[in-house]
Structure 1
């Protein structure tokens, strides 16, 4: 279906649209490509494609049925990128939409409602637009999902690789468990390809091509902002798992992702909502009960904090020269895209801070190209690091750790005085330095210690607070499959 695009110079008035329409989803088996089609009223249409290179569409009935249902789910979740351009009051599902031909089960409807409200919490806050009053979904159909296809076990696990430290640690856990690991990525950004090459594991690839219309309407007045992209990538990964003969997808979402940034008008705003435990639980339930049985989806890092993951990553030295978590590397606009760490964003600061308790200044300078804790890389380092721990204002809208663990990392590297003597309780943190911190005299560290950290050392309760980020969350550990629990303990435990 050809796209109807607004003229390049035309204005785009979000208030002019009454409905967002899920038109249809089409699969081209010969090219292993899925086309996802949407419209705002009858005026503007969008078509996104997701392709899976170098893999044949399966011939067996169960996997084909699984892929059809997953493509339908992808259609509903990826629509959030286009719905947000106008956030109209009503959502319409055409007969060719979604996994059940335009119908919604109660469980699936509830998940979608959360994705389009809680998943758009940051978008709502930035645009001062209450998404709870927009996008009314059709009523649920109690007819049920029908016969759910069931996949046979294969022992192969797909591990999405994003180019950063977390996915590499997740891969280490999966391999430690003795599973046949296959790396997966959406696109071929440099850090992703380099990390997969360093792993020595096979690479399953998908390519997502956003509708060209999105750039045009954004330039002409459409609403814009953050979307719950992990929900979309997860579904693409599940399709890739079926195509490449895997029976599980192992995500790298840590427990820190469940912490919100702030509450606005009663709506919790969490930049990482679709990485959080609540989304994962609801998504797993819809997947297993209504879409595909025998295809596991879970984060293998859920018991751990970002700080514990950074400690584990500090030991994986072969990845240090190639990984990058900075979002500037992954910008869609090639003119604004960087090849490495920018050194002046919340993501760069957090990763630098999380690794500092385990790596010395020369090692981190070699990775980042600058010493961010000495004020290099940009003029905003002092306030930027303080914000990570909530010492100045709310945690930045980025994929960064909990405020408490950022504070713990600061205390570990600052010490109790200008000489960086160990803080009380540091001896309980496995892997922490026993002697003076080499970071103690760095400009940002000294200011943080003087203005924020020194009073904490006199509080006996802070010893427990320092240890807390390194304790694996017992309920999340218990929820893991039997083979993954000892692997998580070995990689991330004390």
Structure 2
């Protein structure tokens, strides 16, 4: 992605729009659906009303909702939802009306907003620092932790339709774990993932989120736009879902590779809210301010992308149905031209033959010269990695090294020749990466053994 020089626009917007207000949240129950509407306001000039809805299980006493049982959970989803609308003009003041935040909470949210918007600030060339980019003022009553009956034999697994959540679902299911797949705004790839995993229909959790279209109108008018920490929103959404349904574990599918910065030498990370740093910060907040028993962890954190690709190769019934391409997602296809497509091809190549890969992507990506620039970015030949959820330079180079050793993938027009002389012979091997485990994770012992057994099987 090209950087834009929007720092002057940022400064001018902050002069014109001096505050953003989280006015309230509204809870409505209808036909055992929990419908939530958030009321945001940008400097008395623009109103936003995003919505999110959950199915209420029969086991949950609806009267508890009217007593405020879910208020803290609902409020905190609004705290992360608001950042998508705040970033349109980036006002200096954020006013929180529904509940009072203490200083620790204010600093926690400022840290998330700042780091989660790192890519947004970078690509817009906005000069900012964490101390003074925003002031958070809050009013109302304080929130408190609440007790929910949680079953720690049950696990929620968010499903995105890609290989990572497929690996989590299949490995946990095969180990006899009571798995509850979660879909936020279901699409065909997510639905296929659950169907192909042959999981109980009754165990599926569906959450529907709707952004306010006024935000899209402002984007078209030239207001500021860019990446937000979506996985943080997913985290708070799953916490409410877990408490509502009495599920004690939330198992994400974020891997070790999510910790690598997108821009070398900085903390700018496209995947910040998938990183181990955020996972630890999130757990701190959940334990202290929401529920001190709920387990939130990334099941795949101890793995690298090569290990995940190796496990994925054991589930061929998902090969033609999974999708990780953001560009082609609306048409339910691989675009075959983006960093995500090329990266996925590269890391699967040690475990799948060329014919299978071409069938998945509907083309031979290594023969597409338009992907040379992308290959250079993924492999670290270029200075900056793509702003996508892709793995590390080490993983990409190991995959390239492995491909160069196999005649099956060699053609006259192969784009790998463009990096052949730029990647050393001393790159780590695929076998070494398959055997390498990351020791920085929060995976409970029970699940740790399940994952290691799957690798060694």
**1:187 deviation in Å?**
1.0
Deviations 1:362-404 (A, max 9, x none): 00111110010122xxx42122112101112311000000111
**1:67 deviation in Å?**
2.9
Q: Distance in 1 between matches of 2:350 and 2:235?
A: 32
Aligned to 1:426: none
Deviations 1:219-257 (A, max 9, x none): 112100000000001211222223333221110000110
Consecutive aligned runs of 4 or more in structure 1 exceeding 6 Å deviation: 60-64
Matched, 1:295 2:294: yes
Deviations 1:424-474 (A, max 9, x none): xxxxxxxxxxxxx52233633541453323xx22x4xx3579724641112
1:57-72 equivalence runs, <5 A:
58-59=60-61, 67-72=70-75
Indicate which of 375, 378, 401 corresponds to 1:388.
Answer: 378
Any conservation in 1 of the 2:87–2:225 contact (CA below 8 Å)?
yes
Any conservation in 2 of the 1:32–1:55 contact (CA below 8 Å)?
no
**1:109 deviation in Å?**
2.2
Aligned to 2:108: 111
1:205-354 equivalence runs, <5 A:
205-262=206-263, 268-330=267-329, 337-354=330-347
RMSD over equivalenced CA pairs, Å: 2.6
Any conservation in 2 of the 1:89–1:134 contact (CA below 8 Å)?
yes
Any conservation in 1 of the 2:145–2:291 contact (CA below 8 Å)?
no
Aligned to 1:7: none
Any conservation in 1 of the 2:88–2:219 contact (CA below 8 Å)?
yes
- Structure 1 residues 67 and 217: CA distance shift in structure 2, 3 A: same
Q: Distance in 1 between matches of 2:128 and 2:85?
A: 14
Indicate which of 363, 366, 375 corresponds to 1:373.
Answer: 366
Q: Distance in 1 between matches of 2:102 and 2:370?
A: 49
- Structure 1 residues 440 and 368: CA distance shift in structure 2, 3 A: same
1:389-408 equivalence runs, <5 A:
389-408=379-398
Q: Distance in 2 between matches of 1:67 and 1:347?
A: 37
**1:105 deviation in Å?**
3.0
Query: Structure 1: where are the runs of 5+ without partners?
Result: 1-11, 331-336, 421-436
SS of equivalent residue, structure 1 residue 474: coil
Q: Distance in 2 between matches of 1:22 and 1:340?
A: 37
SS of equivalent residue, structure 1 residue 72: helix
**1:295 deviation in Å?**
1.9
Indicate which of 173, 179, 187 corresponds to 2:171.
Answer: 173
**1:406 deviation in Å?**
0.7
Indicate which of 357, 362, 377 corresponds to 1:364.
Answer: 357
Indicate which of 158, 161, 167 corresponds to 1:160.
Answer: 158
Q: Distance in 1 between matches of 2:366 and 2:435?
A: 23
Q: Distance in 2 between matches of 1:480 and 1:111?
A: 23
Query: Structure 2: where are the runs of 5+ without partners?
Result: 1-11
- Alignment size in residue pairs: 438
Aligned to 1:414: 404
Deviations 1:148-198 (A, max 9, x none): 424332521111000000011111232244320011111121111111111
Q: TM-score, normalised by structure 1?
A: 0.83
Any conservation in 2 of the 1:32–1:56 contact (CA below 8 Å)?
no
Q: TM-score, normalised by structure 2?
A: 0.89
Q: Distance in 1 between matches of 2:84 and 2:39?
A: 12
Q: Distance in 2 between matches of 1:283 and 1:66?
A: 21
Q: Distance in 2 between matches of 1:467 and 1:160?
A: 29
Any conservation in 2 of the 1:107–1:286 contact (CA below 8 Å)?
no
- Structure 1 residues 463 and 254: CA distance shift in structure 2, 3 A: closer
